[in-house]
Amino acid sequence: MRRLNLKQIISLVFVALIASCGSKKESERQPERVIALQDDVVASLDWVSVLRAGEYLAARLVFKNSRGMPLTQVELQDFDPQMPSMGHGTDTSSQAYVTVAGENGQIEVRGIYFIMGGDWVVGVTAKIDGQSRKFSFDVKVP
């Protein structure tokens, strides 16, 4: 086996460090999935970002029919986090809805902002196959 020079050893250690940082981040991340049902449509909400207050977060929504098939004719109309226990919502003006390419109707909501931790209810309105439907997700923000 060929001997490694110092430069190669240093770069290997560096790569190993980067890799361990990455995996640590992954294990710290606690992706949460919430599922809401409305008639024959199952909506699920997956957090892309670590769920926390005071930062802009992203989450993905997917809508499926009763047979588990993703629905692709979806137009997201509203993503409204409310805190019922305190009677307030949060600023939604930074939100953007992006259809995720090649992911069967997944919609990414960016710029979600929780002004504080606690129990939130996210109301989602979406037009699916031409019909407007409302879902609600219970979200606990640490």
Residues making contact with Cu ion (CB under 5 A)? 83, 86, 116
Closest to Cu ion by CB, 36 or 83: 83
Coil vs helix vs strand at 124: strand
| Smallest gap from residue 90 Cβ to Cu ion (A) | 9
In the complex, which residue's CB is closest to Cu ion?
86
Residue listed under structure tokens 């407007």: 132
Residue 10 CA from chain centroid, whole number: 37
In this structure, what are the phi and psi dihedrals at residue 138, rounded to the nearest 5 degrees? -85, 125
Closest to Cu ion by CB, 42 or 141: 141
| Smallest gap from residue 24 Cβ to Cu ion (A) | 31
Closest to Cu ion by CB, 82 or 136: 82
| Smallest gap from residue 57 Cβ to Cu ion (A) | 16
| Smallest gap from residue 84 Cβ to Cu ion (A) | 9
Coil vs helix vs strand at 49: coil
Closest to Cu ion by CB, 83 or 128: 83
Closest to Cu ion by CB, 69 or 116: 116
131 token code pair: 């019909």
| Smallest gap from residue 131 Cβ to Cu ion (A) | 33
CA 60 to CA 124: how far, in whole Å?
12
Distances from the Cα of 47 to the Cα of 2, 18, 77, 107, 140, angstroms: 46, 24, 19, 12, 12
